[in-house]
Structure 1
Amino acid sequence: MVGHQPFILGRDLVDDWRALDHAWVASTSAIYQLPATVTAIAADDAEDANWWPFGSLDQLEAEIAAAGRTLYAAHRPLLQRALDHLNR
Structure 2
Amino acid sequence: RDGSLRESANEMGVKILLYEAGEALRYDELCIRAGERGILRVMRHLGMLPASRQKKFPIEPLIARNSGWMRATDSGFVRNLKHLGDKVEKDDIMAI
* TM interval, short-chain normalised: under 0.3
Instruction: Give the TM-score taking structure 2 as reference length.
Output: 0.22
Higher relative contact order (CA 8 A, sep 6+): 1
- Give the structure-1-normalised TM-score: 0.23
